[in-house]
A and B are shown apart, each in its own frame.
Chain A
Amino acid sequence: MNFTLKIWRQKDAKSQGAFETYKVENISADTSFLEMLDILNNDLVHAGKEPVAFDHDCREGICGMCSLHINGHAHGPSQAVTTCQMYMRKFKDGSTITIEPWRSAAFPVIKDLVVNRGAYDEILQAGGFVSVRTNSVPDGNAIPIPKEDADESMDAAACVGCGACAATCKNGSAMLFVAARVSSLAKLPQGRVEGARRAKAMVAKMDELGFGNCTNTGACQAECPKQISIAHIARLNREFLWAKLKD
C-alpha cells in the first residue's frame, strides 16, 4: 500500500510549526501505524533528515504513551484502540493521512507530534491515591467487595492516561480522565474513605491547570481507546457536589 502523509513538524516548544508532506510506499497491510512511521523515519534518517518525533512505548495499547490525532480522530479512525494498535489495513490504499499532535492548552507541544502531558500527573498527585502506608494494611480478604463494584471500579481503572479525552474534547476538558480515577476509587471501600477530599482536590487541580469545562458532548468516551463511559463523569459530579454540600 502507498500513502501520502501530512505530518505536523515543529522544532521545539517555542518554534512555529507547519505541515510537511511525505510519501511512504510498499507498506504491508499488516504493518501497524507506528511501524509505518518507523519505516518513514528510517528513510528520513538515511536521507540525512530528522525523523518525526512521536511518543510510543509498549505498542500493546496499555502504556498510554502513544497519541496522535489522525485524520481528525484521536488515536485514528478505529474505535477502542490506541494508535499503536491500529493497522494499515484500516486505511484506503493511496489515501492521504493527516497526523497532528494533541492540541490542548494544557498539553504543549514538545517537538513534532510529542506533547507534554505532565498536567495529568499533577492532577493525580493532587489526590488520585489512597493514603495508606506500606506494610500497615489489613488482609486482602478482610473487606469483601461486591463483584459488580469491583468490576465497575476496574472499568474506570482501565484508563491509560493517554490524553485522548482532553485532546478530543472541544472544550479541552480532562473530565473523563479525572472521573475515571475518582470513580474507580469511589467504587471501592478502600477508596471511599477519602472520597470527598479526593474529588475536591482533583477537580481544583484540573481547573487550575487550565483544562476546559465539560459540556457533556460525550466525544471523550467516543474516542477513548479504553471506552471509558461518561457515567464515571456523572459519578464525579455527584461525588464533588455532595462533598461541597457537606462543607
Chain B
Amino acid sequence: MSCFLCNSSLGKKLVMSLSGMALVLFLLFHMSMNLVALIDLINGDTQYYNGVCAFLGANWYALVATAGLAILVLIHFVYAFILTLNNYRARGSQRYAVTASEPGVEWASKNMLLLGVIVVLGLGLHLVHFWSKMMLVELMGQHEVLVGDEPVVPTDGLAIIKFTFSQWYNVAIYLVWLVALWLHLNHGVWSMFQSIGWANDKWYPRLKMLAKAASTLIILGFMAVVIAFYVMR
C-alpha cells in the first residue's frame, strides 16, 4: 500500500496532488494573515499584524507547522523532479523537429516545472527576507535583528514588510514571482482534482473556474500587500 506512492505513476501523481492541495490551503491561510497587515497599514497601527507574528513565532505549534510545510514543499518539489525526469526519458532521445501547440491546451500545463522552479526561487528569497529575520532569529535565541540599519524585534513583522517593499526591485521580483505562482495554480488547482479522479466532462468547466478563482484570489491578496506597502512607503 505504501509503496505505490513511490513506484507507481498514479501513486506519484496522488502525492503531487495531495501535497499541492495542502500547499494551496497554506497559501490561502498565509494570504489571509497578510491582509491583517493591510488593516494595520490603513489604521497606522502595528498591533494586529505583529500580534499574528508573535502568535506564529517560535512556538511549538508554529514550528511543527513550519517543519510540516517544509516537508510538503520538499516532497512536491522532489516528486516534480522525479516525474519530469521520467517524462523526459519517456519522450525518447529523438525529439520532434516541428512542434505545434494543441488547441485548448494551456501553456502553464506544459510548463509546470519551470513555473515551479520560479516559485521555489522566489520562496528562497522570501525566506531570506522574512523567515530568516523572524522565526530563525528567535530559534537562535536572539531578540533583535537588523532591518536595513534599524534593529527591531523579530516579531515586528510589519517593520520588515515596510522595509522590504520600500525597495522597488523587491516589489518587481515579488510581482513576477506571484504571476508565476498564479499560472502554476491555474493549472495545479483543477489538476489535483483530476489526479484524484474527482472530475468529469461536466465538471471540467467548473473546476477550471474554481482554479482561476482560487489562484486569482490568492495572488491578488498577496499583491495587494506588496503594492500597498510600496505605494505607502
Contacts and interface: CB of A to CB of B under 8 A. Distances in A.
The answer to whether any beta carbons of A and B sit under 8 Å apart in the complex is yes
Interface of A: 6, 8, 17, 19, 69, 71-73, 77, 79, 98, 100, 103-109, 168, 170-173, 203-204, 206-207, 210-219, 222-223, 229-231, 233-242, 244-245, 247
Contacts of A235: 197, 200
A158 to B, nearest CB: 15
Interface of B: 1, 4, 7-14, 83, 86-87, 89-100, 102-106, 109-110, 112, 187, 190-191, 194-201, 204
B191 A100 contact: no
B87 A172 contact: yes
Contacts of B8: 203-204, 207, 240, 244
Given A69-B96, A237-B13, A241-B14, A173 B90 contact: yes
Given A103-B95, A231-B204, A233-B194, A173 B87 contact: yes
Contact of B109 (A6, A72, A216): A216
A203 B10 contact: yes
Contacts of A210: 89-90
A25 to B, nearest CB: 23
A103 B94 contact: yes
Give the most central of B11, B90, B91: most A CB within 10 Å.
B90
Contacts of A215: 83, 87, 109, 112, 191
Contact of A206 (B9, B87, B94, B102): B9
A205 to B, nearest CB: 11
A207 B11 CA distance: 11
B105 A222 contact: yes
Contacts of A231: 199-201, 204
A216 B89 CA distance: 18
Contacts of B198: 234, 238
Nearest to B79: A213
A79 B104 CA distance: 12
A109 B94 CA distance: 10
B102 A73 contact: yes
